[in-house]
Each structure stands twice: as structure tokens, then as C-alpha cells.
Structure 1
Amino acid sequence: MQFKVIQRILGLLVMVFSLTMIPPMIVGLGMGDPDLTPFYWAFLIVLGSGLGLWLPVRKANANLRTRDGFLVVTLFWTVLSTAAAVPFMFSSALNASFTDAMFEAVSGFTTTGSTVFGNIEGLPRSILFFRQEIQWLGGMGMIVLAVAILPMLGVGGMQLYKAETPGPVKDSKLTPRIAETARLLWYVYLVLTIMCAVMYWLTGMDWFDAITHSFSTVSTAGFSTHDASLAYFDEQRGVGWTAIVFMFLGGVNASLHFAVWKTSDIRCYWRDSEFRTYLLIVLGSAWIATAYLYAKNIYPSLQDTLFHGLFQFTSSITTTGFSTTNYANWPTFLPVLLFFVSFVGGSAGSTAGGIKVIRILLLIKQGMRETTRLIHPNGRFVIKVNGEALPENVVESVWGFFAAYVGVFVFFMLAVMATDLDQRTAFSAVASSLNNQGLGLGLVAGNYAPLTAPAKWLLALAMLMGRLELFTMLVLLTPAFWRR
């Protein structure tokens, strides 16, 4: 293990992250926040910590191995989440404990969107901006992680695509250099964010809400500057329709967006089997919700029913977590279905959480192949994605990931129930955290503040594991990883 090199990288990252305290200070100054000391102190503490990590090993230089990559990626998310918690701890408006500050920071940075803060509208604008900012940065980091870095470690959904696959979706990266890949993906991410902010403003938001909500929409994160989430803008229905479009786009593989931009050919989307499956799941689940809600006369008109059904299921599948209605009071199976679809999640290479559509697609194809083998036991059948046959070891890895996902979910649900939570609350809280979705049922239907400290720490860990595709963290628990 190249511990000195890893320490140098972390020190540099922490120092760079200290700069994220500056935009909230500028916003606070411009909007008349009475107290910006949380960000002054946070800037100094985070910068000093990064400097302290970097200085002793600043001359360390060696090539990182794959094993080092697992530790770097895990530390990247945990250390920067800790740094993001500092302003929350120093804010007199929040009076947050270390546990609550860490929960909020991890939730934001992993683009989960669960919150323990109340009276959101009453918080200083600098704090509100920072909450949205860390989601956007987390989403940006996740795109690069998913498309450029995790496949090199053999983790994540993107390695399910073969290198020979036609088009932009490759096994490892879009361009030969990670830095170039990151630059291209950030450009796409930034353009989507600007488009989203402009559309929010045109449909009725003020500039502050438009910019901050564009951060949480494109990153499929779900924090809002209002306690009611997007239900606050119920009078401006265009806001909700804008959110639906950009939540959906946020759940699409970022390299597909890049391909469409580079080729000016929107058909790149439709040629991708994962995108077609993703679209089918969104529309299919929304149709079920709309039909059932309309049959039960939950909303006064078909238009309202269609809007809330499509919005809430798009929000859940993309693991954004915005809400426009009290979905917890929907009849019978719909609230539970809302959480089941979050297990599917968005596309590989997107900011969305969950198992990912490509894995679900391969599980279905594998099930169909086994059925066909029963009829034709001597036949040879291959599984294809975008017209290309997948190796058997890739198909097996999907089953391994699925088994691990189920096992981790069961572990966290039992552990959270052991903190005296009922089954409904525990199921929704763990599903929301592991899938980075942010919604909740039962005790956490509106806010996670009522949970005990142990439950919050367990859920924060689940958020990190879900964000890092499980195996990135699980491999650190194996003795073999630490052997020379």
C-alpha cells in the first residue's frame, strides 16, 4: 500500500475542498446573512487539515495500484463528507450535534437527500446554498467515479459494457486520459445544470431557488430550500414538469449525453438498450400509479393525477427524492412500490443510486436464458447488450452484486430495527439510504431528525456503501486486502 502517496492525494483534495466554503460566504454577504463565521472557521480548519496531511508527504511519488484505488475512493468520500460537516457544526442557526452534521453532510455528498434539519426556510442563505452545493459536487464526483475510475477497479455498472461496444459507452473511459474524461463529463454536467436553472427561473422560481434546485435536480440528490420540497411551488406547475425532465436526464448515463452532444444525433439515446429499459420502467411505473390514483379519486383531475404519479415515480427511480405530494398517504401498495423502484435506480454512469438499470436488465435476460435452457438443454445461448455478447464472468458478477446488495440491505434493516424502529420505518429508511433516494415512510416520512444517533450512523454508512457500489468498501473488510 502506498500510504504516503494516498495521504498526499487526500491532503490535496481536502485543501481544494476548502475552496467550497467561499461561494456560500459570497452568497451570504450578498443576501444579508448576519453570521458567516461558520464558513470562516470551516475554511481555516479544512484548509489547515489538508495542509497538515499534505506537507509531511508532499514529495511522495509512486504509481498507485488497483488495491490503493479502493482505499483512495473510500477515503475521498468519507474525508470530504467530514469536511462538509464542519460549517453545520459551527452554525448557531442549526445548533447541530456532530452526528446530525455528519448525517446531513454524508446525505448531501452522496446525493441521498435525507435531512435531519427542520425549518429549512428559516436557515441562513449561506447554509442553504452550501447544502445544495455539496450535492452538486457529489454528483459531479460520482459521474467521474462511475465512468472513469470504478471500472478500472472492476467495480460499478459501467464494466458491464464491453470495450468493443459501438458508440460512446466503453468499458473504462471515454477518452484515453482520466483527466480528459473528467473535463468532458463536467462540461456536460455543467451545461445540464445551467439549462435546468434557466428553466426553473422561467417557470416561476427566483434566481436563488432556481440555481440551488438545479444543483439538486441534475445531481439527482433531492435537498430543497423549503420544508415542503417542490410542493412549495405547487402554484407554478411548470416547475414540477421541469424537474421531471431534468431528474430523468440526471438518471441517464452521462456518456450518452456526451455522445448526443458530440454527434448532434439524439438517436444515440434510443440505440442504447439500458436507456430504452430505463424509459420503459419510468413510464410503466408512472402509468400504474396514475391509473390506480385516478381509480381511487385521490386527486381532483386526471391532469393532477398524471402529474403527481409521473413526478413521484420519476423522483424515486432516479433516486432524487423530491416530492410534490404526501405520497406516504397514497392507498395500499403504491408507497411500497415507490421504494421498490428505487432499488432499480438510474443508468450506470449517472448520478442516480440503486442497483442500476443495466444490472436489472441483465438479471432479466439471465432469467429468460435459464427458462430457454429448460426447453433446449443442449443449446448454447449468449446474453447480449447493444448487440454485443457479454462474457460469462460479467453475467456472474451481476448475480454476485445482486446477492451482496440483498445481504447488505438485510443487515442494515435488522441493525436499524434493533434501534427500536418499526418495520415500515426501517424498511424505507434503509432502502432510501442504500439507494441514495432520500424519501421515507412512517417515522421518517418528512424528516430523519426523530431517529436515534446509532440509527443515523448506520444509515450514513449505508449511504456511503450504496454510493460506492458496495464492493469498493466491502473489499476493505477482507484480510487479504491488507496483506502485502
Structure 2
Amino acid sequence: MWARITRQPLFLLLTGIAAMAMLVPAVHGFLLGRALEGRAFLYSALLGILAVVLVSIARDGSARRRSEMGDLLGLFAAMSVLPLFLALPFYEALRTTSFLNAYAEMVSSLTTTGAAFFQAERLSDTLHLWRGMVGWMGGALIWVAAAAILAPLNLGGFEVTASAEPGQSDQLHGRHERIDPQRRIIRATKALLPIYSGLTFALWLMLTVIGDPPLVSLIHAMSIMASSGITPLASASQAESGVAGEAISALFMLFALSRLTFSSDTITTTRRGLHEDPEFRLGILIVLAVPLGLFLRHWVGSYAADEEQNLLQALGALWGGLYTTLSFLTTTGFESVEWETARNWSGLPTPGLIFLGLAMVGGGVATTAGGVKLLRVWALYLNGLREMDRLVHPSSVGRSQGMSRRIRRQGAFIAWIFFMMFALSLTLFTMIFAGFGSDLETALTLAIAGLSTTGPLVQIAPDEAVNLAALAPMAKLTFAAAMVLGRLEMLAFVALFAGQLLRR
């Protein structure tokens, strides 16, 4: 029985998992007395399970050679097609929206973007739970796919340290060619899912003990581990746990800065500790430098207002900057309860451009964070240092050896190509959103929020929050495409579709 299940395509397995997951909000809806919502999820779950069983029986006995590209195509289908099924119970339970809005909401959740198309008070607790669960499952999928699909193909940031071209295996991953890709996915799931679930449960328990309601703490715990930024509240800053809850949440956000914080299954360098990991060190440097810069900026503003002696208000402003910076760097997008204090302390406007920049940088490779990724930024930084040395000493010889030299040369070249592709994608989506009637600020915010998978940017970065539900239908589909592209990255699309064309 287990062998038959594991022989099924990745997309079919993910559809079955999604169908069984619908039983949880179905039970939740019935327990709360919302029979209509419970039936919507129950009937959708039964329909999905029946369809998966029938398709698996129909294709039983078919033997096809599996490949990493096939799993990459299945991952793309999961991000773009599977939300059609995930949106079905959401649409039937809400009843006051279009299916397009429900689909865009599910794409936002599954890609861990967390852009809310509905006001918090419009959705019931059951629907909020489903949004959080979809985001959490999307984060788990990215964790597993990074080790089992992207790493063997040298994609998702691994191309910076690999010796082969993106989309191809190198000698380090040559042993994977003798292993069925489906077995590799199952093995990665067995290794990573208990860690992912355990960390989520621990954070849920801590937030509940501090004072958050169980449902709010559960959704926030799932959102932080998946870096999705989904919250059942109007803003995460309204959580009852306050600064204490944010301090605990910040510790769990560190897992999105580097893969080394929770696993060593995809390490492509000789570094084995966090103190030697360039991603983690660069992330901590940004988390400390940006708030300190904002703090000094705010301190100058408050000095002009003769409020420099208010120590508690100053500490609150500093913490608001630290937590919000870490949240947006990991593309979670939670705003600190003290962020309003940081703004009012100096009376200066919201530095939305800084949030856009932090989201574009993103977190670590093979984590749930989006953006350009810290490893690529580090590679470009090393290359920049070397080029400045050569300007002063043209005949100098680089001192780096081994993998550091690889990152500084070929890695920086590929990182620069990715950065240019990201910039071109950003320009293209900005132009498309502007063509659909959005002003430049809104179009740029939507493009960065989608490509960096940081949905809360649309509420915090611009002067006026963007109403996603009021966008034109084609603009919503474009935003969904940007979220899928940002989650899988442009290099993966190039490797996928270029490989398909070459094989034809």
C-alpha cells in the first residue's frame, strides 16, 4: 500500500494531503456551530480524496522514469494549480466573494506571501484557521523542496556555491542520480517535518502561555515558522502577548536567516557553525544596523522636540525597529507593537522604502523566506571587495581559497545574473500593474510584495494601504503570477522551461 502511494506523482500526493487537511477546519466549523462552513470543507475533502483515489487507480501500473525536472514541474503546478482546489471550500464557506478572490487568497497563503484580500473581521475563525494552515503547509513544502528538489538541481540559491550550472547536478549531488527523486522527497520529509512541526508547537505553546488566545497564537506560530505573515487580527501588533510575545517570536524568526539553524542536509560549503555562516552573520548585521540607523534618525528628531530624556520611549522605539526589521528581512511582515512608538517618538513619516529594501534582500537559502537571499548578497559583497582591491592594487592576487574563491567569482557572476533577472521581473510587473490603473507607488509595492513573498508590504509600505480586493481581475491574476514566480524564483522557471524546450 505504501509503495503504491509513493509511486504517485508529486502533484497528486500534494492534492491528497490538501484534501485530508480540509478535515481539520471541517471539524473546527462543526464544533463552533458553523455547520455551513463545516460542510463546505467536509464535502471538498471527500471530493478531493475521491478524485485522488480514482486517478491513482487509473494510473496504477504505469511505469515512468522520474526526474528532478518532473518534480520541479510538480512544484510549479502545486503553487499555481493546487490553489484552485484549496479555494473551493473557502469560496463555498464565505459565499460573499468571487472565486477569483478566493483563488488569489489561497495563492497568497500557499506561497507564504500572506497578502490579505479580505478584512480580518470579514472572515470567521474557521476561515482564518484554513488560511494559516495553507500558509504553514506551503512553508513545509518549501523546506522539503529545497533539500529534495532545488538542491540537486543547484537552484534556489545553491547555484552560488555549486560547481555545475543551474538546473544541472554536480559531483556533490551525483549520488542523487542513483536515488529515485520520490524517495528523496520522502526522506527529506521524514527528516524535516518533525522539526518543523515541533518548532511550531513550541511557539504555539509559548504564545498561549503568555496570553494570546489559542487560535491567534496557533495562526501566528504557523505564520512565523512559514514566514507567511498571516494573522487573524487586523494587525499582528494587536496581539495580547505584546513585547514578550514578540521577543519569543523573534527567536523563531532566526530560523529564516540560515538553513544551518535547523538542518545541515543541504550544506554546500565547508562551514559547519552559525558563527562561520555568512548568511546568518550578514542577517544579524542588517538586523542590528538598520534599527540603529533608524534609532539615531529618530533620536535626532526627538532631540529637536526636546524629548531626548524619555528613556522608556527610546527603548520602545529601538525594540520596535529591531523586531520590525527582523520580521521584514525574513519576509514575515509582522509589525511590532512598538513601531507606532518609534514613529511618534520623532514625528517622522514611515520609512516604507526601507521595508521594501529589506524584503527584497530576504532571508537565507533553503528557508521559508523569500527575496534575493542573503547568500547572493554575500557573494556580490565579496566580489565588490575584490574589485575595489584590484582598483588600488591591480596586480594583487586574491587570498581566498577553495569555496570562498568559488563564491567570489562564479558564484558572484550567477548571483548578479539572478539579481538582474529579479530587477527585470520587478520592472515588468511594475509596468503591468501601472497599465492596469495603479499609480507608481502602488504598482512598485505590489511588484515587490509579490516577488519577495512579503504580502504585508501592501499594508505598511505605502502611505495608504493597498486594497487588493479592489484591483482589476487581470491585476489580481498578475499579482498571483508574481507570487508564484517569487516563490520558485526566475532561475527555476528558466531551468524548467528551457529544459523542456531542449528535450523537444
Q: TM-score, normalised by structure 1?
A: 0.87
1:199 matched residue in structure 2: 206
Structure 2: how far apart are the matches of 1:85 and 1:450?
Answer: 19
For the residue of structure 2 that corresponds to 1:436, the secondary structure is coil
Relative to structure 1, the CA distance from residue 387 to residue 479 in structure 2 (aligned partners, 3 Å threshold; closer, same or farther) is closer
Q: Which residue of 2 aligns with 1:79?
A: 81
Residue of structure 2 in register with 1:167 after alignment: none
Q: CA separation of 1:193/1:317 partners in 2, compared to 1, >3 Å: closer, same or farther?
A: same
Match of 2:130 in 1: 130
Q: Give how far 1:447 is off.
A: 4.5
The residue type paired with residue 293 of structure 1 is: H
Pair 1:308-2:300 in alignment? no
37-46 or 138-147, which deviates more: 37-46
Paired AA for residue 479 in structure 2? L
Of stretches 146-155 and 314-323 in structure 1, the one that deviates more from structure 2 is 146-155
> Are the counterparts in 1 of residues 225 and 252 from structure 2 also a CA contact under 8 Å?
yes
- State the Cα deviation string for residues 28-71 of structure 1 (Å, max 9, x = none): 23333342122023213323443454333222222223443432
Query: Residue 107 and residue 404 in structure 1: after superposition, are their counterparts in 2 closer, same or farther (change >3 A)?
Result: same
1:293 is matched with which residue? 298
Q: What is the match of residue 473 of structure 2?
A: 453
Q: CA RMSD in A?
A: 3.1
- The one of 271, 283, 288 aligned to 2:288: 283
Q: Partners of 1:381 and 1:65 in 2: how far apart?
A: 39
TM-score, scaled to structure 2: 0.83
Q: Which residue of 2 aligns with 1:60?
A: 62
Structure 1 residue 445 displacement after superposition: 2.1
Structure-2 change in CA distance of 1:364 and 1:8 (3 Å): closer
Q: Kindly report which structure 2 residues correspond to 1:226-265, keeping only aligned pairs within 5 A, or say none.
A: 226-227=233-234, 229-233=235-239, 236-249=242-255, 251-258=256-263
User: Residues 109-166 of structure 1: CA distance to partner in whole angstroms, max 9, x if unpaired?
Assistant: 0100101111x24522221111000111100110111233112222111343459xxx
Q: Which amino acid aligns with 2:284?
A: L
C-alpha contact (below 8 Å) 1:252/1:347 kept by paired residues: yes
Q: Which moved more, 1:78-87 or 1:337-346?
A: 78-87
Q: Which AA in structure 2 matches 1:481?
A: L
User: Do the aligned partners of 1:240 and 1:311 also contact (CA within 8 Å) in 2?
Assistant: yes
Amino acid across the alignment from 1:104: E
Q: Which residue of 1 aligns with 2:31?
A: 30
SS of residue paired to 2:379? helix
For residues 281 and 38 of structure 1, the distance between their equivalents in structure 2, rounded to whole angstroms, comes to: 45
**Equivalent of 2:493 in 452, 463, 473:** 473
CA distance in 2, matches of 1:430, 1:407: 11
Return closer, same or farther for 1:444/1:429 CA change in 2, 3 Å cut-off: farther
Q: Is residue 431 of structure 1 aligned with residue 451 of structure 2?
A: no
Deviation at 1:469, TM superposition (A): 1.7
SS in 2 for 1:296: helix
Q: Secondary structure at the match of 2:470?
A: coil
Greater shift, 100-109 or 267-276, is seen at: 267-276
Query: Aligned AA for 2:244?
Result: G
In 2, Cα distance between the equivalents of 1:373 and 1:123?
A: 59
Give the alignment of 1:321-360 within 5 angstroms: 321-324=333-336, 325=339, 331=348, 334-360=351-377
CA distance in 1, matches of 2:275, 2:314: 29
Partners in 2 of 1:47 and 1:82 — Cα distance?
15
The offset of 1:381, in angstroms, is 2.9
Between 305-314 and 458-467, the greater mean CA deviation after superposition: 305-314
Aligned 1:139-154 pairs, distance under 5 A: 139-154=139-154
Deviations along 1:288-318, one digit per CA (max 9) or x if unpaired, are 2233234334997112212221122111111
Q: Using the TM superposition, give the Cα deviation of residue 210 of structure 1 relative to its aligned residue in structure 2, in angstroms.
A: 1.4
Q: Any conservation in 2 of the 1:290–1:306 contact (CA below 8 Å)?
A: yes
* Corresponding residue of 2:97: 96
1:47 alignment partner, one of 49, 56, 78: 49
In structure 1, list runs of 5 or more residues that go unmatched. 164-169, 261-266
Match among 373, 387, 408 for residue 425 of structure 2? 408
Quickly say closer, same or farther: Cα 1:200–1:102, change in 2 above 3 A: same
Which letter does structure 2 place at the counterpart of 1:279?
I
CA contact (8 A) 1:159 1:172 kept: no
Moved more, 383-392 or 276-285: 383-392
| Native 8 Å contact 1:160 1:394 kept in 2 | yes
Unaligned runs of 5+ in 2: 1-5, 164-170, 266-271
Can you list the C-alpha shifts for 1:153-196, whole angstroms capped at 9, x where unaligned? 22111343459xxxxxx965999844333322222212221221
Deviation for aligned residue 1:376: 3.4
CA contact (8 A) 1:6 1:68 kept: no
- My pick for the range that moved more, 378-387 or 463-472, is 378-387
- 1:368 and 2:385 are equivalent in the alignment: yes
Deviation at 1:208, TM superposition (A): 1.6
